[in-house]
Structure 1
Amino acid sequence: MAKLSCDFRFFLIPAAFLFIYIQMRLFTTQSEYADRMAEAVDAEHHCTSQTRLLIDQISMQQEQIVALEEGKKRKDQECAQLKALINDLEKKALQRIINKTQVPVAAVVIMACNRADYLERTVASVLKYQSSVASKYPLFISQDGSDPNVKTKALSYYNQLTYMQHIDYDPVHTERPGELIAYYKIARHYKWALDELFNKHNFDRVIILEDDMEIAPDFFDYFEAAAALLDKDKSIMAVSSWNDNGQKQFVYDPYALYRSDFFPGLGWMLTRSTWNELSPKWPKAYPSWLNNHKGRQFLRPEVCRTYNFGEHGSSMGQFFQNYLQPIKMNDIKVDWNSQDLSYLLEDKFAKYFAGILKMAKPAMCVFSIEINQTLKTLHGNLEFLKNGRTAYQGQHIKE
């Protein structure tokens, strides 16, 4: 019995060591597990934090996207409202200046580009005589490009005229070396503006002015009287208020009108039917197309009804001193409604002009310094018209 008790105690000692070892291992394992659990909790917290941060960023981006979409919608709505407003203003502007019971004689368009001071002078001259006949001659300004001073000046007349703007970013390729790009841009602007007035606004006639011109007191009465001839006689291609040889020393009769075989320009009127013919074959530059008129002629006065003060422009003033500055503009108001202009019709003008020549009397020439100077000037004019007619016309459509 004593032997069994001794053997049992002998086994208790290893069992105690084993128990202690197992407890130590369990403690170590629990410590490692606790550390790993702590790391996992920390990782979970970090992951949760990152997730929340990502969710916040996504939410902010979504809010920004929503804000941008709402902003885009607002901008689209504002653009639509602005377009509607522009159309409404344009209609109201036309309604203010056009009497619905009266068909306009012609729209008047001032072609402008980048000379705000010139434009102001031209508009002042036109409004001086147009205001009383605004229902007959609705006024437009057509600007080529985006010069801010010209646009501001044009819009300042919002209750007296309608503003149009031509924006063209297409590159210009000249057909011949040395040509000025400006004349190609001018040609594009003219075609656009005339298409707008004839096709969009449906005017039957259009009078074209430039932003460096003043008009005579009877400018509008003259065109109203000529409009009837333009409609009646299809051999008349256009009516001009200009005489290339209208310098002060060469003209005296403000009542005299003539038919011309070449296009005078600088303040002229044409009809929708003529434009429908010309628009599809509009040239890339220069107005020489008007001289290819298929036997038709132009009406012009002896004394100009416009004056061109544009010393600075696309032509760089090269013709101003000799040919433009000395021009005489009519300064009396002729009652054109009381004038019988039937002599200008194709079947009567040849006889009328022959009568003028028949009544002409030879003038005795006194060869003085003054006469010689006059002859030189006349010779210069003839040479200019002979050698530079096309260039002259092109370089006097200025912006």
Structure 2
Amino acid sequence: MHRKRGSLILCGTFLFITWNAILVLLLWGRPTPSGDQGEVVSRTNKDLVEDVIQITNTIENELEIQKELLIQILNHQSRSSNKNKPKVVAPAQPVIPILVIACNRVTVRRCLDKLLQHRPSAQLYPIIVSQDCGHADTAEVIRSYGNQVTHLKQPDLSDIAVRPEHKKFQGYYKISRHYHWALNQVFKTHSHSSVVIVEDDLEVAPDFFEYFRAMLPLLKSDPSLWCVSAWNDNGRDGYVDPGKANLLYRTDFFPGLGWMLLREVWEELEPKWPASFWDDWMRQPEQRRNRACIRPEISRTLTFGRQGVSLGQFYDKYLRYIKLNTEFVPFTKLDLSYLKEETYRENFIKEVYSAPVVTYEEVTQGQLKGPGPFRLQYSSKNSFKLLAKNLGIMDDLKSGVPRTGYRGTVSFLSRGKRIYLAPPPGWTQYDPTWS
């Protein structure tokens, strides 16, 4: 290719020089009239001027032809050169980075191995590991992945001044500080427009990436949503429908544990980010602002980290039994319009409040007739907590919102039947004093 291009350039240059040499010879070879011949007298000055003009026009025309020829040769050279350059192809789909929040668990390897195993594209899903704590062994594990991940280190490892009664909560303060720094890295330093946040003790399902890819357009287009979560707080085996791996819900409760956030929401939250207990802060009405999250029937994450700042709270009783989805659901090919706010709310209310009301005894003693669903009604904070605890679902409330709740209703399976633990008809709002 280089030899052919060089020959074309030499050929063009030779033609250019040769043609102009011929023009010069023609001009020199024109007869010059002698001063003693009568013909000179007959030639007028006008004839001489016309000859000069004709010759000049001829030269100009030929020079223009030679100019075009050289331009074509240079363009051909440029095209040939560009063919040899590697093409940079921009991804047709948005990039969704995965931010892994790490500290001092060498078991982060399990988290990273699963992410890399199920990741369909390194270009579309860059993995960013942000490490706090300065733990050398954990840092070595992360470094062992080389360029498969980006390893960030939180620079401020100092203790945080807290009230004496909060000294035992120092870990929660450091976690909040780390989240603040790491999310600024993703959105401000690396200029991403969205992120999926994964803690270092989470294992992801085979369709984890597919799920978030499908949810991103919905999250961007629906202002009544502010997050997408891979987690079902009541997603223990026996409490979810194994035949409904494709079923998704809206929930007023912020689930966390593998969740997607948009840059616009971070710009809203970042200036007032709390010093500690960031997840409960997210669940307050001032932050939630009546917005919902999307969550699945069957979790797309599983936590394996019993030890942490929460000292295993809920782990032994609930979290260790969460069912991780194993069936790949092609969410990007499904019609998800049922999750839009107005459509979902109308259908949900109709289904819940058209379901027959049953008693606790009928549910627990297997006396329900028909396929369901069924509605089990609560009337107060205490009645909700008592029913939830006895039925085996999580009974705590955050700012009045039950885990997985939507409009006060919690959906789960009991003895194979769909149960809606719901407030009376006409529900309008949560009571923040229910905690």
TM-score interval, normalised by the smaller of the two chains: 0.5 to 0.7
What stretches of structure 1 move > 4 A for 4+ residues in a row? 358-364, 374-380, 386-390
Matched, 1:183 2:172: yes
Query: Which structure would you say has the larger RCO, counting Cα contacts within 8 Å and 6 or more residues apart?
Result: 1
Residue identity matched to 1:357: V
Residue identity matched to 1:384: D
Correspondence for 1:198: 187
Matched, 1:152 2:140: yes
Matched, 1:381 2:358: no
Residue identity matched to 1:263: F
Match of 2:294 among 290, 299, 303: 299
Match of 1:173 among 161, 180, 186: 161
- Measured in 2, the distance between the counterparts of 1:141 and 1:357 equals 42
Correspondence for 2:267: 276
- Measured in 2, the distance between the counterparts of 1:378 and 1:365 equals 11
- In structure 1, runs of 5+ residues without a counterpart are 1-97, 369-373, 391-399
- TM-score scaled by length of structure 2: 0.61
Residue identity matched to 1:347: E
| Cα deviation 1:85-129 (Å, max 9, x = unaligned) | xxxxxxxxxxxxx9633454311011111111x201111111110
- TM-score scaled by length of structure 1: 0.67
Match of 2:220 among 231, 239, 252: 231
- Measured in 2, the distance between the counterparts of 1:125 and 1:378 equals 35
Contact 2:91-2:124 within 8 A present in 1 as well: no
Correspondence for 2:247: 256
Contact 1:248-1:328 within 8 A present in 2 as well: yes
| Cα deviation 1:176-202 (Å, max 9, x = unaligned) | 614410110000100000000000111
Deviation at 1:316, TM superposition (A): 1.6
Residue identity matched to 1:188: R
Residue identity matched to 2:267: N
Secondary structure at 1:299's aligned position in 2?
Answer: strand
- Measured in 1, the distance between the counterparts of 2:122 and 2:176 equals 28
Match of 1:161 among 130, 145, 149: 149
Secondary structure at 1:163's aligned position in 2?
Answer: strand
Secondary structure at 1:321's aligned position in 2?
Answer: coil
Deviation at 1:384, TM superposition (A): 3.0
| Cα deviation 1:127-154 (Å, max 9, x = unaligned) | 1101x22222111111003211111111
Secondary structure at 2:147's aligned position in 1?
Answer: coil
Counterparts in 2 of 1:348 and 1:321: CA distance versus 1, 3 Å: same
Matched, 1:289 2:281: yes
- In our comparison, the structure showing a higher alpha carbon Rg is 1
Counterparts in 2 of 1:350 and 1:366: CA distance versus 1, 3 Å: closer
Deviation at 1:223, TM superposition (A): 0.4
- Measured in 1, the distance between the counterparts of 2:91 and 2:364 equals 59
- Measured in 1, the distance between the counterparts of 2:97 and 2:158 equals 28
Matched, 1:135 2:133: no
- Measured in 2, the distance between the counterparts of 1:296 and 1:149 equals 40
Counterparts in 2 of 1:224 and 1:302: CA distance versus 1, 3 Å: same
Correspondence for 1:367: 365
Counterparts in 2 of 1:387 and 1:282: CA distance versus 1, 3 Å: closer
- Measured in 2, the distance between the counterparts of 1:138 and 1:310 equals 24
Contact 1:283-1:289 within 8 A present in 2 as well: yes
- Percent identity at matched positions? 39
- Backbone CA RMSD of aligned residues: 2.6
